[in-house]
Amino acid sequence: MSRIALLLVLLSLWSSLPSAQANEYPLRDDGGGLFGEVKRIQTRYEDTLIQLARQHSLGYEELLRVNKGVDPWLPGAGTEILIPGQRLLPPGVREGIVVNLPEHRLFYFPKPEKGKPPVVLTFPVSVGKMDWNTPLGVTKVVRKQKNPPWYPPESVRKEHIKRGDPPLPAVVPAGPDNPLGTRSMRLDIPGGAYLIHGTNNPDAVGMAITHGCLRMYPEDIERLFDLTPVGTRVTLINEPVKISRFGGEVWLEVHPPVDEKGQVLTVDIEVFEARLNELLGESEVIIDWEMALRALREATGMPVLVGLELVPEGAAEPEVPATAAASVPAQRP
């Protein structure tokens, strides 16, 4: 291969990866939970949805879900692709690492640097598959390791034999064949070796495919590894329905819910109503129930505007940030 050809290949690979700042967003002073933006891009002939998902810090299934009808392997040149880069913050404490399992997404809330506004970093993750669920609850990072070896548990080795796969060795050394990738962070969860780690199969990031660990793109785990000290709080939640108020608006984000065994369920409307009542309190809000129910049925994972807060006569209209207002038309089904 010539030097020019090699350079072109390297540039192509480099351009397919997200920038270091692509996953980082400032938190709003008023506590509003909507951030990011929705974009529409035109594909090149050589693009695939797997490549585009990684380039835009998304999981493959996350991108496929909002681009129905597009050939994932050969979308062709000039095909319009929706990039669902807008989302709501998860409910609960905004501290350390928060992983929302139905969303297949990790949120990291670092301690704010002096003189700088707080931020959130977010990354797609793979989670436990059916019968190998990722445990819920609050834990912490107890160990970090670069280039970790993998010691396949006996249960995983038996599973491989049962499937007819070649037997796994007692230990897989660090290297390109190691499924833990280049970094691992062990969680303080009894009864198993649960890790946040990299991968040698980045195409599967964003799926329910692991044996309970949280799998990340290589570039994402390396960044998170450098930012996260041992002792960092880790909260694992199961919240398929997220609701947030933002500049006098009510936004709803729904993901396909799963039970403790990883089986896909339908969204419980009572869960939505309870969360809505908790959020709104005594506020007077107009809810577009047709839009809300459609969002619950479709569960695309994209935030949808479903309500507006009533403004008392004579009161000033709430300010809606330009990023939110500009993105509204792209998100309404």
281 by Cβ neighbours in 10 Å (0-12 / 13-18 / 19+) ranks as exposed
Asked if residues 262 and 133 have their Cβ atoms less than 8 Å apart, the reply is: yes
Q: Which two tokens stand for residue 55?
A: 């380039």
Give the separation between CA 74 and CA 37, rounded to whole angstroms.
Answer: 25
236 CB-near residues (< 8 Å, 6+ apart): 99, 101, 134, 135, 136, 137, 138, 139
Give the separation between CA 234 and CA 128, rounded to whole angstroms.
Answer: 16
Q: Which two tokens stand for residue 201?
A: 């199969």
CA-closest candidate to residue 266, choices 274, 277, 255: 255
What is the chain's alpha carbon radius of gyration, rounded to the nearest angstrom? 21
Q: What sign does the dihedral 191-193-194-200 (CA atoms) show?
A: negative
Asked if residues 83 and 39 have their Cβ atoms less than 8 Å apart, the reply is: yes
Active site residues per annotation: 197, 213
- Which CA distances in Å does 13 have to 6, 9, 188? 11, 6, 36
- Which CA distances in Å does 141 have to 196, 197, 225, 292? 9, 12, 11, 37
Give the separation between CA 174 and CA 190, rounded to whole angstroms.
Answer: 25
CA 207 to chain centre: 10
